[in-house]
Each structure stands twice: as C-alpha cells, then as structure tokens.
Amino acid sequence: MKDPKPRTKLVHLPGTPRNMRFTVPVDEAEESPPIKPAEIAEPPVWLGADARAIFADRVSEITEAGYWHARFVDSLALYASLMAEYQRDSAKCSAAKVTQMRLLLSELGLTPQSSRGVMHGPNR
C-alpha cells in the first residue's frame, strides 16, 4: 500500500487581494481624449446598402457610449451583414446565423448583460 501524498503547506503570498487589483479612484484615472469623428471607420465596401445603414446605427450607438475602437469594424460589419439578411427574410435565416448575431452583439457590448462589463467613457 502506497503512502498517502504528504500534505503541503499553504503559502500566503503578499499583495493585493484579487477583487481590489484593478480598482482605481475616479479622480486618479487617466482621462482619454474624446473620439474624433475622423477616427470613426467607414463601413467595408462589401456591405450592401441595408447593412451599411445598420452598421452606421451601431457605430453611432457605440460612439455615444464612448467605447468605439477601429478593431470593431470587422465584427460590426459581419453583424450588420447578418442582421440585414435576417431583416430581408427571417424565415430563411438559420439558427446558427441568429446565434452568431447574438454572440457578436455580446462581444461588442450591445446587449444588456454584456454592457455591464464594458467600461463606458471616452475611448475605453
């Protein structure tokens, strides 16, 4: 019969508790400059007219919330394309596409649940 594993000693490491690591008082937080209209990306050329309208609506929504970034363009364009297809004929839109739209909305912080995790404010 093997000996049971020896018990290890719990080592307490110095530092800040996990829940307090990223808390920064508002007055000490760095202020980012506001987003300039020139920094807002144009929709990709492959988007149709109806998808471009959806893209523009979502960009304005994200910009007003204060967290627009150029890295959102591809995800937002894909969402706009899927939503335009869904609006044209929802009966032909598969469940997989609807799920993909829901996931893209969540990644962009455009659902009630996901918007809680988005840091609002200029360029955040």
CA dihedral 84, 89, 95, 101 (to 10 degrees): 10
pTM of this prediction exceeds 0.85:
no
Tokens of 100: 């993909």
Whether 121 is covered by a domain: the verdict is no
What pLDDT does residue 49 have? 93
Whether 27 is covered by a domain: the verdict is no
What pLDDT does residue 65 have? 77
CA-angle at 117, arms to 33 and 95, nearest 5°: 120
What pLDDT does residue 54 have? 92
Q: How many domains does the chain have?
A: 1
Q: Which domain holds residue 45?
A: 32-115
Whether 76 is covered by a domain: the verdict is yes
What pLDDT does residue 62 have? 82
Nearest to 34 by CA among 101, 123, 124: 123
108-116: long-range contacts, CB 8 A cutoff, minimum separation 24: 108/58, 108/62, 108/72, 108/75, 108/76, 108/79, 109/62, 109/65, 109/67, 110/58, 110/61, 110/62, 115/65
Residuewise pLDDT in 10s, the chain (124 residues): 676 766 666 665 566 556 555 555 555 445 555 555 545 678 888 999 999 999 988 888 888 877 777 788 888 999 999 999 999 998 888 999 999 999 988 888 888 777 666 555 444 4
